[in-house]
Structure 1
Amino acid sequence: MENNFATSAAAEAPPEPVTPVALSDARYDLILLDPSKVRLFRTGGTTVRMALDDPQVGEERSYLKVSVARAFPLSDPEHYIGLRDGADKDIGMLRSLEGLDAESRAIAEEELKRRYFLPRITRVREVTEEFGMTTWDVETDKGDRTFIVHNLKESVNELTPTRVLITDMEGNRYEFPDIRKLDEKSFGILQRVL
Structure 2
Amino acid sequence: MSIPASNGFPFMLSRNAFGRLIHTPADGGPAEEVVPVRAFPIDTESEDISLVGPTGHEVAWISRLDELPPQARDLVRDELARREFMPEILRIVSVDSYVTPTAWTVETSRGEARLALKSEQDIRRISQSKLLISDGHGIHFLIRDLDKLDRASRRMLDRFL
- Fold match by TM threshold 0.5: yes
Instruction: Describe how 1:1-194 pairs up with structure 2 within 5 A.
Output: 36-54=9-27, 60-64=29-33, 66-114=34-82, 115=84, 117-127=86-96, 134-149=102-117, 152-153=120-121, 155-168=122-135, 169-178=137-146, 181-184=149-152, 186-194=153-161
For the aligned residues, what is the CA RMSD?
3.4
- Cα offset, 1:166, TM superposition: 1.6
TM-superposed CA distance for 1:107, in Å, is 0.9
Kept in 2: contact 1:69–1:83 (CA 8 A): yes
- TM-aligned CA distance change 1:75 to 1:188, over 3 Å: closer
Q: Where in structure 2 are there 5+ consecutive unaligned residues?
A: 1-6
CA shift in 2, pair 1:177/1:151, >3 Å: same
8 Å contact from structure 2 (residues 24, 32) kept in 1: yes
* 2:3 alignment counterpart: none
Q: Identify if the C-alpha distance between structure 1 residues 180 and 98 changes in structure 2 by more than 3 Å, giving closer, same or farther.
A: closer
How many pairs align?
Answer: 153
> Rg larger in 1 or in 2?
1
Instruction: Report the alpha carbon displacement of residue 152 of structure 1 after superposing the two structures with TM.
Output: 4.8
Once residues 69 and 119 of structure 2 are traced to their aligned partners in structure 1, the CA distance between those partners, rounded to angstroms, is: 43
Of stretches 81-90 and 170-179 in structure 1, the one that deviates more from structure 2 is 170-179
| Percent of residue pairs bearing the same amino acid type | 20
